[in-house]
Structure 1
Amino acid sequence: MEWVKDLLQSTPELALFLCLAVGFGIGRVKVWKLSLGGVAGTLIVAILVGMVGGITLNSQVQNIAFALFIFTLGYMSGPSFFASLNRRSLRYGVFTAVEVVTVLAVTAAATLLLGLDQGTAAGLMAGGATESAVVGTATDAIGRLPLSDDRIATLQANVGTAYSISYICGLITIVLLTSQFAPMLMGVNLRDEAAKLWRKLGGGAGDETAAPALPGLVGRAHRVSTAAGSRIRDVEAGLGEGATVERLRRDGETVAMSPDTALEAGDVLLLVGRRDALIDAERSVGPEVAPQTGMDLELDAVDVVVHNTEYMPATVAQLRERIPPRQRHGVFLAGITRMDHALPVRPATEVHNGDTVRLTGVKSDLASFAPKVGFRIDRGVKADFVFIALGVIVGMLIGKLTLTVGTVPLSLGTGGGCLLSGMVFGWLRARNPRFGQYDPAAASVVKDLGLATFICAVGLSSGPQAVALIGDYGFALPVAGVLMTLLPASISLFVAWKVMRLPAPLALGSVAGQQCSTPAITAIQQAAGNTTPLMAYTVVYALSNVVLPLLGPVVVAMAGALG
């Protein structure tokens, strides 16, 4: 196999894509409810490939990949982060605070007891907190230490190795704790509690679905008999919020109508609405008939970035009260997405500026209503590269700023600078969505590919030192990794359940959010049977996703001071 070694050493870009392919393949494999995910899978494969020795990626590739990842992370988090800075949402900040204080305390204790170096301490914290971004900010901070190049390379390699060990332990711990052990300790049936909360939010007894679905919009043609003499507005009021009259045919001709148009016997109405709202239309309007020529009507679906300080933040029910019925005529809310997570579409669900809502209805109604809510996403534009590139440039420049406190130089580095600029640029985009479009799907690809490429570079350089590091600490690192996850999660669970008295789904969602753990919230939702845990998860996730990456330089400095 010497030729394989020579090939990878001479063509490191081949090693990169090999690690990505195998790593993401391994990341998909599920054992019970657990899967590593593509990033952790790539790191493990990269460490193994790196053990061959002599395989490294260009440092510029590593820096570019990390800058794109951390900027995109900030861009996606910014609107939700700033929207969460209100009295109601900030109470969830206690979970992020518990996470920060506890992981720093555990890291300090492990550093003193085990004699960890800066790289191992940072990697342990990143993995135990299941926050991959810390690997980048810590590696960046180590690169600025006044040490020899060889020592810096060794410390940076230790970050990746320690992360891979503690991440696996942290992942297993947080998924099992939140989805299995915590409900037993709390003495609740999570599925029953989630169903109860679902009904409290405005869901019906039969609405305990695993995820919010597009509303069952249908179109029905009815010949007016019972409703003869009534006005259009009377018919719509009788059908309720879930249906509208979209077209009127009289004597074979389409008639212009208004809310005050009086109906005559024999008129044919095209009704559009939710299936359940149209069930009684035959009784209140007249018999259903086959659609006639001229009754065809196309429904459309649009995604809108919410930006309206007059109405937001508000629950779905409050929006129905605040927005006049004529303004939202014929428009139906089909979905709410926050930071790439779909929220339950229920009356008590809060909508924030920066959220993306999916609206369905007739094109003309959508065209007039969408601008009142926010800015319609242009599906033909996936990414505004001028805006994105300027954001990365600003972040890199911020990262070069250094403040000297005594004899200690403090700097955000590329990681902190691009995270900060990403948050601000994402917030600016939410405030004025006419520029800076970054389609969520495109952003997700860039974020994942940037992080995976950076992690692969770290793993390849970590390979030669991995065996030595594991030999130095043995089982101490896995145990420390479990404690790094278990302690803050347990404290927060107590605070959520006993102090804040949150419903079980929200308590568990908060714990998963403070860890920024997508596998954990997925397992919780499966156990709960609906998406109610996401309502707390997204708020805490928005806060932790910004704060935790900033701990990388803090841990490096702390471990250096304690070592």
Structure 2
Amino acid sequence: MIWNLLASQPEIALFASLALGFFIGSFKFGPIQLGGVCGTLIVALILGQSGARLSPDLKNIAFALFIFALGFTGGPQFFANIGRGWRYGLLSVVELVVVLGLVLGAVALFKLDRGTAAGLLAGAATESAVVGTASEAIGKLALPAAEIARLQANIVTAYSVSYLFGLVTIVLFTSQIAPLMLRVNLRDEAERLWRALGGDSALADGQRLAAPSLVAREVRVTSAADLSIDTLEKRYGNEITVARVVRGRSLVKAQPNLVLKKGDRIVIGGRRTALVEALPAIGEEVIGRDVADVYADTLDVMLTRREVHGLTVAQVRARATSADGRGVYISAVTRLDSTIPALPGTELHRGDVLTLIGSADDVRRGAAKLGYVVRATLKTDFVFLGIGVIAGIVVGHLSARVGGVEVALGTGGGCLLSGLLFGWIRSRYPVIGSLPSAAAQVLKDFGLCTFIAAVGLGAGADAIRLIREYGVALPLAGVVITLGPALVSLAVGRWLLKLEVPMLLGAIAGQQCSTPAISALVSVTGNATPVIGYTITYALSNVLLPLMGPVIVGLAGKVG
């Protein structure tokens, strides 16, 4: 009865796959969590035995929206990191080369077909988007329809098997195995790096990563009498700010040239470490009211200034004039939806969203010097979105012959490149192309999982056949193909590029596009230092790996 209902109304099968898949994917086993995409695929493969099939048009539309949104959100970071992030970018290149080599080795050893090879790459690299680009490439082959359907079914089956083992492998490797191989205590290394970046060890807590290390106190001036406000602030590297001066019963404007007098009550704020150092040399702390309103205003700003890219938070403050930098602080840095520590030694990249904190006038002045204000909006620019997807589809029809292999971007590759370009345009000209982060996330989640559910339902009985045919070969291949680039990157990053261990392991998680791996790393280290390396390789691999879908289909055909 239920099987007949699913076959006659496949939309029920779609939403059942999404609901049950995300429910299954939400469970955690230690640091391991399947996630909604893999959960959806597993449920869809089971429900596909009913004969329920979704329209190919729905599948294509869903994937186009997902891949465009993926490129759009990553565009600013991708272009920002192409040049200056070359050390981490090299690890993404290692990922591509080693994974392709190992997959082609598995093709020759086990006589894999193109679909199984593509699914193995997608699963072992834990990059779901490869399923779409490879499936589309197979659909364009000059083969009978039944053979194309079989190969596309093999993609999702091989992906589901190898993804599970690849996920477990990369999580355990980055958080447990690699530190043992390097003979380091990962938590101690992360604490040392946190301090080296200018962090307060009291804040190196995994549950308080985004909390600004900014404080405010009211002080009665004694030792700092006869000093001007500007002199006092410069003495501590402009990491403190006198925000209010009460002299007698009068409120005096805290201008830089104002000379403090003994007995003045001042509200002073800034970074915790600087303020703790300064207080004894200023006077005695008193209990005051409304101290918190010194940092009552916050503003999110996307960093677009080319001259700021690559500078640390401390360098940005040092290069700012007293008038521009006074009273405004960076309390958080968001990169690709990940929060990285806003420490003095944290390097800023174009495309980062900086949370500025201070008085209303100060944060507005700081925003104008750094980029443009990210306004909270629920409105999506569908003109921009529609033109972007159309441009991607047009570009996707272009093809070229490389080494005797016909390679075409397809709709997936075209929309990915189009999304990158349109996302970059949006970062340069913020008055156009609004796509709120929440809307982009819905497009990515719903688009990818709808596509995955569609191909999973279509796989049908082919899934069981493929698992029986190869047995343990696919899981073992998934483990080897996941470990290969991780081991090479560990050696290259540690001994050639001299990267710090927490950021190196974060970069390895990023080159694998593994969110569970970076979550496990942050839990083990106790702070967000691994996220700094993760965001760069994640931005690059999230673009480069999906483009390998058509490539592996072509190469596997030659090797096989």
Report TM bin, short chain.
over 0.9
Partner residue in 2 for 1:41: 39
Pick from 511, 522, 525: which aligns with 1:525? 522
Give the superposition deviation at 1:225.
5.3
1:223–1:289 contact (8 Å) kept in structure 2: no
Rounded Cα–Cα distance in structure 1 between residues aligned with 2:145 and 2:282: 81
Structure 1 residues 528, 270: CA separation in 2 closer, same or farther (over 3 Å shift)?
closer
Corresponding residue SS for 2:243: strand
Q: Alignment identity in percent?
A: 49
Give the superposition deviation at 1:39.
0.6
Rounded Cα–Cα distance in structure 2 between residues aligned with 1:394 and 1:535: 33
Give the superposition deviation at 1:140.
0.9
Pick from 301, 304, 307: which aligns with 1:304? 301
Structure 1 residues 404, 217: CA separation in 2 closer, same or farther (over 3 Å shift)?
closer
Give the superposition deviation at 1:244.
1.7
Deviation track 1:317-338 (CA, whole Å, cap 9, x = no partner) reads: 2112111232121111111111
Q: Which moved more, 1:28-37 or 1:4-13?
A: 4-13
Pair 1:547 & 2:544 matched? yes
One-letter identity of the residue aligned with 1:353: R
Corresponding residue SS for 2:32: coil
Partner residue in 2 for 1:134: 130
Structure 1 residues 513, 198: CA separation in 2 closer, same or farther (over 3 Å shift)?
same
Partner residue in 2 for 1:472: 469
Partner residue in 2 for 1:188: 184
Normalised to the residue count of structure 2, the TM-score between the two structures is 0.93
1:123–1:158 contact (8 Å) kept in structure 2: yes
Rounded Cα–Cα distance in structure 1 between residues aligned with 2:93 and 2:402: 25
1:226–1:286 contact (8 Å) kept in structure 2: no
Rounded Cα–Cα distance in structure 1 between residues aligned with 2:196 and 2:263: 43
Pick from 71, 79, 83: which aligns with 1:82? 79
2:215–2:272 contact (8 Å) kept in structure 1: yes
Partner residue in 2 for 1:169: 165
One-letter identity of the residue aligned with 2:44: A
Rounded Cα–Cα distance in structure 2 between residues aligned with 1:465 and 1:256: 76
Corresponding residue SS for 1:301: strand
| Paired residue total | 558
Structure 2: gaps spanning 5 or more residues: none
Pair 1:28 & 2:26 matched? yes
Partner residue in 2 for 1:428: 425
Structure 1: gaps spanning 5 or more residues: none
Give the superposition deviation at 1:214.
2.3
2:203–2:213 contact (8 Å) kept in structure 1: no
Pick from 350, 372, 381: which aligns with 1:384? 381
2:221–2:282 contact (8 Å) kept in structure 1: no
Give the superposition deviation at 1:456.
0.9
Structure 1 residues 512, 147: CA separation in 2 closer, same or farther (over 3 Å shift)?
same
Rounded Cα–Cα distance in structure 2 between residues aligned with 1:372 and 1:138: 44
Give the superposition deviation at 1:469.
1.2
Give the superposition deviation at 1:256.
3.9
Partner residue in 2 for 1:159: 155
One-letter identity of the residue aligned with 2:32: L
Structure 1 residues 264, 483: CA separation in 2 closer, same or farther (over 3 Å shift)?
closer
Pair 1:369 & 2:333 matched? no
Structure 1 residues 305, 347: CA separation in 2 closer, same or farther (over 3 Å shift)?
same
For 1:65-104, list aligned pairs within 5 A: 65-86=62-83, 88-104=84-100
One-letter identity of the residue aligned with 1:444: Q
Pick from 112, 115, 123: which aligns with 2:111? 115
Pair 1:416 & 2:413 matched? yes
1:311–1:322 contact (8 Å) kept in structure 2: no
Pair 1:144 & 2:140 matched? yes
Structure 1 residues 556, 295: CA separation in 2 closer, same or farther (over 3 Å shift)?
closer
For 1:247-326, list aligned pairs within 5 A: 247-250=244-247, 252-264=249-261, 267-275=264-272, 277-279=274-276, 281=279, 284-285=282-283, 288-291=286-289, 299-326=296-323
Rounded Cα–Cα distance in structure 2 between residues aligned with 1:380 and 1:522: 29
Give the superposition deviation at 1:129.
0.9
1:227–1:285 contact (8 Å) kept in structure 2: yes
Rounded Cα–Cα distance in structure 2 between residues aligned with 1:216 and 1:284: 20
Corresponding residue SS for 1:327: helix
One-letter identity of the residue aligned with 1:465: D
1:223–1:286 contact (8 Å) kept in structure 2: yes
Rounded Cα–Cα distance in structure 1 between residues aligned with 2:215 and 2:195: 25
One-letter identity of the residue aligned with 1:141: A
Normalised to the residue count of structure 1, the TM-score between the two structures is 0.93
Structure 1 residues 471, 298: CA separation in 2 closer, same or farther (over 3 Å shift)?
closer
Corresponding residue SS for 1:351: coil
CA-based RMSD of the aligned residues comes to 2.4
